[in-house]
Amino acid sequence: MAQPHQTQQLPLTLSQEGLDPPQVIFLDAVGTLFGVRGSVGEVYRDFTRQQTGIELDAEATNTAFYEAFDAAPPAEFPELITQKKPGSFLLEQEFNWWLAIAQDTFSRLGVLVQFPDFQNFFEHLFAYFATADPWIIYPDVRPTLRHWRQQGIELGIVSNFDSRLYTVVDSLDLAQFFTSVTISTRVGAAKPNPQVWYSALAAHNCPPEAAWHIGDSYREDVEGAIAAGLRGIWLNRP
């Protein structure tokens, strides 16, 4: 079984450290390729103020969001895959999953009752996160992706995001680098479940031992990838 490798920026010369170049490199999305501009709390604060005039404390909002996020079930809907439901059912499930987290977040802040129509407000917030505006690409990303593509290495994304990821990656002008984008909600399994990597590997006709996965979560990205037979690389950004 492959051992984890740790780095504080996207690796450019891992082959010089005794690692053979892979056929495919998979990367996590949020926290690896791009992150929230500032913090979730700051984005929520600014968006809420602009849309409703309700004032939030950014730090408290950030804490409440991650508490709600950690308490939520995995973003995976295997019953939709099994039942072969239309895509509209999946999009509705994704929206409702995030709606529950947002309601929990604002409830923890004690301001949920101040919204006359919270679902309508959240529809706009949900759509906002499908644009490029709340995101920032880490400076090491583009040079690294270009370097790998020049080496002939295939690239893919494996993420526990949702279907908005396609739009976000495209709006950030990153889609050009990737052959595949594998999302937990569309596979019916979320990292660290190995099944999400098996689906991604199938898209490249690649055996696990010929692939790397890089991500910022040790449990989800590194341990999950290793369990699936890939080399897991921890991107431990400062």
Assign 3-class secondary structure to the chain: CCCCEEECCCCCCHHHHCCCCCCEEEECCECCCEEECCCHHHHHHHHHHHHHCCCCCHHHHHHHHHHHHHHCCCCCCHHHHHHCCCHHHHHHHHHHHHHHHHHHHHHHCCCHHHCCCHHHHHHHHHHHCCCCCCEEECCCHHHHHHHHHHCCCEEEEEECCCCHHHHHHHHCCCHHHCCEEEEHHHHCCCCCCCHHHHHHHHHHCCCHHHEEEEECCHHHHHHHHHHCCCEEEEECCC
Residuewise pLDDT in 10s, the chain (238 residues): 455 677 666 764 555 456 678 999 999 999 999 999 999 999 999 999 999 999 999 999 999 999 999 999 999 988 877 666 657 889 999 999 999 999 999 999 999 999 999 999 999 999 999 999 999 999 999 999 999 999 999 999 999 999 999 999 999 999 999 999 999 999 999 999 999 999 999 999 999 999 999 999 999 999 999 999 999 999 988 7
**Contact status, residue 22 vs residue 225, Cβ threshold 8 Å:** no
**Angle at which helices 87-108 and 118-128 cross, to 10°:** 110
Residue 120: predicted pLDDT = 97
What local confidence, expressed as pLDDT, does residue 21 receive?
A: 86
Assigned fold of 5-36+135-235: Rossmann fold (3.40.50)
| Intervals of CATH 3.40.50.1000 along the chain | 5-36+135-235
- Return the number of other C-beta atoms located less than 10 Å from residue 93's C-beta: 18
Q: Rounded to an integer, what distance in angstroms lies between the CA atom of residue 110 and that of residue 108?
A: 5
End-to-end CA distance of the chain: 28
